[in-house]
Amino acid sequence: MVRRRDRRTDRRRKRRQSQHVTTGIALGDPKVWGLLTALVVVGIAAHLITDTPQASSSPSTASLTVSPATKSLGEVSVTGGRVSTEFAVSNEGDQPITIHDMETSCMCTEATLVVDGVAGPTFGMRGHGPWPTEWAEAIPAGATATLRVDYDPAAHPDLRGPVTRVVRLYTDAADLPHLDAKLEIDQTD
């Protein structure tokens, strides 16, 4: 009889040990249930905190526009020399927006941003000539800057017909990383 009890005790002990080895967690342990409950509560709280809309003002969004978005210069003669035009760059948002870089789509086009009457450096096509560095200009909320664009038809003396050039302005606004101004030309003799 003693042996039978020892065998039963041994079987129970082995069964308990195998349960601990396979799961690694004693599910009947109140400490484990307490820990699991705490983790669920913390997860739900974190979700509610991050998904709850703020009661204060609505989040600010960038609202920078170029007007007109596309400007046609009509017919431009190869022998007529450089042609200049201007675009309005308006900050219609509630925070200043900084333009920190610009570039043009072709070496025949150059652009300068004028804020509060002060002209910044001239930008062209990246990789063609010197490049302005460490430049940035903020356009205050509600203010309008001027984008001056020059087109040189002599840069492409054999080109005739429709031409499209783009000036890209790079901003510090996460929801508006860049903004384009488009120039259309009909290049003639």
The type of residue at 65 is T
* CATH of span 64-188: 2.60.40.10
pLDDT for 14 = 63
Confidence at residue 175, expressed as pLDDT on a 0 to 100 scale:
87
pLDDT at 31: 72
Nearest 10 degrees: CA dihedral of 86, 159, 155, 102? Answer: 40
What pLDDT does residue 19 have? Answer: 53
Torsion over CA: 82, 91, 119, 116 (sign): positive
Which of 175, 168, 169, 171 is closest to 97 using CA atoms?
171
Q: Which residues of 84-106 are buried (b: 16+ CB within 10 A; e: fewer)?
A: ebebebbbebeeebebebbbbbb
Distance CA 120, CA 157 (A): 29
Collect all residues with Cβ–Cβ distance below 8 Å to 59 and sequence separation of at least 6: none
pTM as predicted: 0.67
DSSP state of 123: B
Contact 156, 187 (CB under 8 A): yes
Reported as a single tens digit per residue, the pLDDT across 22-70 is: 555 565 677 766 665 666 555 565 555 555 444 334 455 678 999 999 9
**What secondary structure letter does DSSP report for 79?**
T
Q: Contact at 8 Å (CB) between 63 and 87?
A: no
How many Å apart are CA 11 and CA 71, to the nearest integer? 89
What is the domain partition of the chain in residue ranges? 2-51, 64-188
Contacts of 65 (CB under 8 A, 6+ apart): 89, 90, 92, 179
pLDDT of the residue at 11: 66
